Chain A
Amino acid sequence: MELDELERDALRELANIGLSRAATQLSELLNDHIEMTVPLVQVVPYGQVTQALQLDPHAMVATVWQSFSGQSEGTSMLMFPSEDSKRLVHALVGPSMREVGEDDLRGIEHEAMMEIGNIIITSGMAVIADMLGQEVQMSLPGYMEGNLPDIMEQRNRDNAGREMQAIIMFTQLKAAQREVEGRMVMLMSVDSVQVLFDRLHKLLRGL
């Protein structure tokens, strides 16, 4: 989908406010300064998502997802390269997990990333809903770890037969002196993307 300059700017500002709010929430939780940037927002057809995400197809990706429903419906996913997310959790939880077993370690990483993802997705979606005047209900978060094609295959099954588009926001999260390359993907039907853009145009027309 081709965006004009103002649409791209508006989407970027929505993402910027959402992620800034997420950074504020995370800093309270982790008691640390959190940096988050929004360098790029893209809208791509479903078939191009894997390519647009710029992730190594063989590398493991940690993904937190939450479905949303309301005037727009879809799934929000937050993806981090597993290596990055592991380093981040180690830095956050620190020495207390140095000696725990591998099973416990996986559990701790899973739990911590799920909460961090939950906060980032919710804050992002709340700002979009607020600024565009949309009612959105979110599901409980889920967690998947696998390579990108496997994760997308799973999503494929859930959205079978529907023409989908994705809004991708690239972000760089920095906490506890660790940098993590994150991507937030909003996977929606073409109709839902249209509803979102209608709202965005309404907001911009009012200016």
Chain B
Amino acid sequence: MKRWKSGWFRTPLRIVVAVGAVVFGVEFLFMALLHDVIMPLTSFTVSDTIWSIIDAVTLVVLVSPVLYFLVFVRMQRDFAELTRFFAELTDTLMMGVLLVDTDLRVHRWNQWMERKTGISSQQACGKLLTELFADFNSPRLLSAIDLCIKHKSPQLISQTLNRYVLPIPLLSTMHDLKLMQQQVSVAPLTNSRGETLAVISINDVTESVAKSSALARLATKMESQSNRDQLTGALTGIFCGHGWRRNSSKACAIARRSVA
């Protein structure tokens, strides 16, 4: 009984059905009382016009819950469809998308995140970021989420100044980077109840970081080799100036463009 009381009325659809049934029942009882008890016992009569009005009201009372019911079911189906659509939309993106609240609790975890972290959406949703990543340590992400949720201000978190925000180990080790390098944005999303969540979008920029640092290493190596005499190993004067450094940087830029 207790379960029925607390649980059954939770959905608006059931409330509509219940209210419809009660209104119709009350009206039916009233009509029966009027027609079968009050009218035969008293001299009270009801004109045809009044009967027509009562019939019309009965019809409306009977039909409106049904109409509402049909519209509501349709709306609920559309809403479920829309929710599924947006959930799947985030799954089609070639970037990590996760939704978190101020406590860092995960509300959505897209397929890209599942693939890159090996943590399924079911495992992630409802958990704290700190539970999912034991060595999570990004004060910048914490303050970005705070600014984003409290002040509705999107935040950009660059790879240049932060390297990464979530420690996601790399699956392939083609280079000496151990963790995924990330460029991240944090944006607010407010629902109709006024609750704001932070949408964290993560771009994996590991490849371009690795490429840039490989080219930088190459340039340093070229510079040091060109600065030495091939036979004696002594420093040559010609390349000691900064001109060569500038040229080698330019060579790198050209090399980078051709690789890209």
Contacts and interface: CB of A to CB of B under 8 A. Distances in A.
Whether A and B touch (Cβ < 8 Å) is answered with yes
A114 interface: yes
A114 B256 CA distance: 23
B194 to A, nearest CB: 11
Nearest to A139: B154
Contacts of A30: 161
Interface in B124-163: 139-140, 143, 147, 150-162
A138 B154 contact: yes
A122 B249 contact: no
A129 B152 CA distance: 11
Interface in A132-175: 135-141
A126 B220 contact: no
Contact of A115 (B139, B161, B216): B161
Nearest to B187: A140
Contact size range, B: 35 or more
Contacts of A104: 212, 252-253, 256
A2 interface: no
What DSSP secondary structure best describes chain A's contact surface?
helix
Contacts, number: 103
Interface in B151-208: 151-162, 183, 185, 187-188
A129 B150 CA distance: 11
A125 B212 contact: no
Interface in B207-239: 212-213, 215-217, 219-220, 223
Given A108-B160, A123-B147, 13 more contacts: A100-B215, A100-B252, A101-B212, A101-B250, A101-B255, A103-B257, A105-B249, A112-B161, A115-B157, A122-B147, A126-B151, A136-B152, A140-B187
Closest 10 A/B residue pairs (Cβ): A101-B253, A138-B153, A99-B216, A111-B158, A137-B152, A126-B151, A101-B252, A122-B153, A115-B158, A99-B219
Interface of B: 139-140, 143, 147, 150-162, 183, 185, 187-188, 212-213, 215-217, 219-220, 223, 245, 248-250, 252-257
Interface of A: 25, 28-30, 66, 89, 92-93, 96, 98-105, 108, 111-112, 114-116, 118-119, 122-123, 125-126, 129, 135-141
